[in-house]
Chain A
Amino acid sequence: MAGWLDPHDSVAVTLTVNGAPRKVRVPPRRTLADALRDAGFTSVRLGCEHGVCGSCTILLDGAAVRSCLMLAVQGQGHTIETVESLTDGDELSTLQQAFDDNDALQCGFCTPGFLMLIEGLLRSEPEAGRDRILEVVSSNLCRCTGAVPVFQAALNALAANRDDP
């Protein structure tokens, strides 16, 4: 049965998360989000498991993706970043600080997903204007703040990044 795995078999996958390679054994149907959570990256949160809420957003080769919509085996060979990578020692990143300053979090469940979503934007489109930033921020859901404070935090973080890249 060339190429097909039984659902109960597991396969070895190397996931490069936050700069360090990790070998995991996963059944082929295990989502990337679940595999990351099982590997201890519990900042990857599951709010809907079908790609709408964005709480599980990570960076894959620098681009923001929903990790609930990928299989762990698809992560092989790619560079994965989660919110754990943002902090430099004790220092919050400019983006994290902007969330704090703008009251862009309450319960904190959606926060890592939003941070990675906007981190992706910061890196790929540092010159993004207001409309583009709003378009990107509206990809994810925040039930506590309504996400307008998240948009404000994103605006401030992108502006700060332009002033002091």
Chain B
Amino acid sequence: MSAPGGGLIGSPAPRRKNRELLTGEGTYVADIRLEGQVYARVVRSPSAHARLLGVDTSEALRVGGVVAVITADDIDDIRIPIRLPFAESPEANAVLQAPLAADVVRYVGEPVAVVVADDPYVAEDAAELVSIDLDELEPVLDPANSTESSQPLVHESFGSNTIGRLAYRYGDIDAAFARADVVVRRRLRVHRLAAAPMETRGLAADYDPGSGVLTVWGGAKVKHFTRALLSRVLGLELTDVRVIEVEVGGGFGTRGEPYPEDILIPLLARRLERPVQWIEDRWEHMVATNHAREQEHDFELAAGADGRMLGFRVRGWCDHGAYVRTQGLLPVVLPMVHLPGPYEWPAFSMDLDAVLTNRTPVGTYRGPGMTEATFVRERMVDILAAELEMEPADLRRRNLIPAESMPFSFMPGPGSGAVMPIMYQGGDFVTAFDQMLDGAGYDRMRVEQRQARADGQHAGVGIAAYIEFAAVGPFEEVEVIGGAGNVVVRAGVGSLGQGVETALAQIAAELLDVPLSGVTVEFHDTAEVPQGFGSFASRSTVLAGNAIAAAVDEMKAKAAPLLGCGPGDVEFRDGTATAPGDRSVGLGDIGPTRGRFEKEGLTASFGGAVCSVSVNPADGRARVDRFALAHDVGRAVNPRLLRGQLAGAAAQGIGGALFEEVAYDEHGQPLSVTFADYMMPTAAELPDVEVTIIEHGSGSNPLGIKGGGEAGMVGSLGAVANGVADAVGDGAEVLTSSVSSARLWHALHRPRRA
């Protein structure tokens, strides 16, 4: 194709908006200034678990400039619902969070009151004067023993700290263990992490009593859900709620879910009939915004002496924190579907508990569930490799599901609960695995490792292979409006800094054969974008991209009668719809068209990571010297942006393994509430992440795309932990996903058992 839009899908088109961001012009929610706006400050629980006997706001109300102070007594008794039907259960619905705590506080940081003042500094002053009367209760802090009867209850009325137990049985697990030559057993722990985008959360809300319209700025990710929720809890017509997305400083799964503040700030704007702005500070962010990942697993792996993996049993505890939030049971559902991974297990048995503790609620963070599951499984595979004295890459290759077995499924057997079946639509895992090793130069890595060891260094190489389920439905809808020299695409997904607007423009430009510069993508305003499900699960490009393809087909159908031909004869050429015999109509004459792409189930893709690691035993510091990942995206719409997503996600994961941890003390007080104690990596601690893009198509959608925005994270914890374990050898056993210098130093200097 030589025409303007030809070949745009798959081209490294430059990212849109860069110029605006480089010149500092982008408007983030904190930059919004509305006439007469006031500022909110949330008063939060200082205790992990206590009866809330009273909240005295009188002193705060006396501060000059304070406009209002509200507590639970001032609002309706509402709960923030679960957003995804498949992540709901009656038990989960029994422990949802209210916007403001009423009788009991259940984690440090839980909202108790909101102060509104005409100046943000004054709002903070007054918030300090709100007096909270608390009767301390014992906190529940350890997920793995939270279910024991000696433990206090996080929600007394619910009667248990277990809010769900998922069981998945496949094959004959007892037979698998009976015929095993080797069984390895370990308890593995995944540590608590925070996504920690550079921009904290924030909102601005304005209610116009004249028109009755409530406008909310700052909600990204799931705008249409937020709008529906606000309409319901505030008693407004759906069309009277507008949610507008502004520039966003990173999402990573945590930003844009409806949190307590997403109810409180619009509610205050409506009640006060004044614009209200709330900007989370970093301390608040570290206790108020969803945490992620914390879980423990007792894992047993059975294998033959030849390295054939015969089965695994896992009993796990997945922490949900003090409440179930909008993502429901995903913190337990997602690890479960990702635990088997890419291997051809004859049998497995999984029992995972969703548990509550008196800490900040847990939600999804880039690569949710899959990153945790990959660490657990891949660490165990390496422990098995050591036991069998087998090369870790060879052991994995021997057990990968062969291409000829595709499509492949582990259908749940007798004894399973209501679980999502684990199915892989296609792919060639063995070839992709070897592409990953070749891309990384694995053999050379091993040679260099031997040389480094000969020089007395603690050098290791770590591998992790995984399956990522992504691109979740149920649908995405777009509107395509053709015009002279410009095509507008309206989509309901969100831009979180990942560049989705560039990728969608490329798809529209190629399919309509117009120049890239002639496509505008709009997604900011729910008043303009008809419907949408949002940006999560690496779904935006897959779902909205295919909806664009559907809209373009619809344009052909509408153009056909104008051209006097069949829809199949319509071709888009140079900004017009053409029919055989040189007839043509302009895109603007066709009229707006809608396209909808519905998708069932999840799209599985294979990937992995390989890294080389060096450890300094004197201070326990591990360094990732090289990190190479590979991921099957089906088809790369924009390989340049994709590389940025994959490498950036890997950098976050490496930081999570080496430095970051949300820690709590024995009273449930958070110890990681600033960037001085939640330590994220800088350029000096990170390698230049190497990326191999694999394009094994996807039959699940016409464009053949799979997810890619999160995948760089998935292998990171597992690969780094395996690399560190390889580096320290018998010196220390690596059983947690955190391999921080403190942990490693203690592990290396622990008195050895005889």
| Residues of chain A whose beta carbon lies under 8 Å from any beta carbon of chain B | 8, 27, 29-30, 37, 41-43, 45-50, 52-53, 55, 82-84, 86-87, 92, 96, 99-100, 103, 105-112, 115, 134-135, 137-152
Residues 63-93 of chain B, each 1 if its beta carbon lies under 8 Å from chain A, else 0: 0100000000000000000000000000000
Of B227-235, B247-255, B477-485, the stretch lying at the interface with chain A is: B247-255
Which residue of chain A is the closest to B19 with respect to CB atoms?
A92
Some 16 contacts from A to B, beta carbons below 8 A apart, are A43-B23, A50-B282, A55-B198, A105-B21, A107-B198, A108-B247, A112-B24, A137-B684, A138-B683, A140-B682, A144-B198, A144-B497, A145-B651, A146-B647, A147-B651, A148-B689
Which residue of chain A is the closest to B27 with respect to CB atoms?
A42
Query: Are A49 and B282 touching (Cβ within 8 A)?
Result: yes
Which residue of chain A is the closest to B22 with respect to CB atoms?
A96
Contact A42:B31 (CB < 8 A) given known A27-B121, A151-B683: yes
Query: Are B121 and A50 touching (Cβ within 8 A)?
Result: no
Query: Are B674 and A143 touching (Cβ within 8 A)?
Result: no
Query: Are A144 and B250 touching (Cβ within 8 A)?
Result: yes
* Interface of A: prevailing SS: loop
Instruction: List CB contacts (< 8 Å) of B535-575 with chain A.
Output: none
Contact A146:B648 (CB < 8 A) given known A49-B282, A106-B499, A108-B497: yes
Query: Are A52 and B250 touching (Cβ within 8 A)?
Result: no
Contact A52:B497 (CB < 8 A) given known A106-B644, A138-B682: no
Instruction: List CB contacts (< 8 Å) of B670-715 with chain A.
Output: 674-676, 680-689
Cα(A37)–Cα(B24), bound, Å: 12
Residues 1-39 of chain B, each 1 if its beta carbon lies under 8 Å from chain A, else 0: 000000000000011011111111111101100000000
Q: Give the residues in chain B near A53, CB-CB below 8 Å.
A: 198, 675
- The listed residue (B31, B281, B654, B685) touching A49 by CB distance below 8 A is B281
Q: Give the residues in chain B near A87, CB-CB below 8 Å.
A: 23
Q: Give the residues in chain A near B680, CB-CB below 8 Å.
A: 141, 143
Contact A86:B683 (CB < 8 A) given known A50-B676, A144-B648: no
Q: Give the residues in chain A near B28, CB-CB below 8 Å.
A: 42, 45, 109
Q: Does B652 contact A (CB under 8 A)?
A: yes
Which residue of chain B is the closest to A84 with respect to CB atoms?
B24
Which residue of chain B is the closest to A86 with respect to CB atoms?
B23
- The listed residue (A52, A103, A108) touching B17 by CB distance below 8 A is A108
Residues 640-661 of chain B, each 1 if its beta carbon lies under 8 Å from chain A, else 0: 1001100110111011000000
Interface size class of B (residues with CB under 8 A): 35 or more
Query: Are B683 and A134 touching (Cβ within 8 A)?
Result: yes
Query: Are B497 and A147 touching (Cβ within 8 A)?
Result: no
- The listed residue (A96, A108, A140) touching B26 by CB distance below 8 A is A108
- The listed residue (B30, B31, B281, B651) touching A146 by CB distance below 8 A is B651
Q: Give the residues in chain B near A150, CB-CB below 8 Å.
A: 683
Cα(A115)–Cα(B499), bound, Å: 20
Query: Are B249 and A45 touching (Cβ within 8 A)?
Result: yes
| Number of residue pairs A-B, CB distance < 8 angstroms | 169
Query: Are B22 and A99 touching (Cβ within 8 A)?
Result: yes
Query: Are A143 and B14 touching (Cβ within 8 A)?
Result: no
Query: Are B683 and A146 touching (Cβ within 8 A)?
Result: yes
Query: Are A109 and B198 touching (Cβ within 8 A)?
Result: yes
- In the assembled complex, the CB of A128 is this many whole angstroms from the nearest CB of chain B, namely 14
Query: Are B198 and A105 touching (Cβ within 8 A)?
Result: no
Which residue of chain A is the closest to B25 with respect to CB atoms?
A43
Cα(A151)–Cα(B524), bound, Å: 32
- Most A CB contacts (10 A, CB to CB) among B282, B648, B683, B686 go to B683
Cα(A132)–Cα(B587), bound, Å: 55
Cα(A61)–Cα(B272), bound, Å: 44
Q: Give the residues in chain A near B654, CB-CB below 8 Å.
A: 146
Query: Are B686 and A50 touching (Cβ within 8 A)?
Result: no
Q: Give the residues in chain B near A144, CB-CB below 8 Å.
A: 198, 250, 497, 644, 648
Cα(A146)–Cα(B64), bound, Å: 44
Which residue of chain B is the closest to A135 with respect to CB atoms?
B684
Q: Give the residues in chain A near B652, CB-CB below 8 Å.
A: 143, 146
Cα(A134)–Cα(B681), bound, Å: 13
Q: Does B457 contact A (CB under 8 A)?
A: no
Query: Are B199 and A83 touching (Cβ within 8 A)?
Result: no
- In the assembled complex, the CB of B346 is this many whole angstroms from the nearest CB of chain A, namely 40
- Most A CB contacts (10 A, CB to CB) among B24, B25, B655, B684 go to B24
Q: Does B628 contact A (CB under 8 A)?
A: no
- In the assembled complex, the CB of A35 is this many whole angstroms from the nearest CB of chain B, namely 12
- The listed residue (B24, B197, B640, B688) touching A43 by CB distance below 8 A is B24
Which residue of chain A is the closest to B650 with respect to CB atoms?
A146
- In the assembled complex, the CB of A152 is this many whole angstroms from the nearest CB of chain B, namely 8
Q: Does B267 contact A (CB under 8 A)?
A: no
Q: Give the residues in chain B near A92, CB-CB below 8 Å.
A: 19, 22-23
Contact A109:B199 (CB < 8 A) given known A96-B23, A138-B684: yes
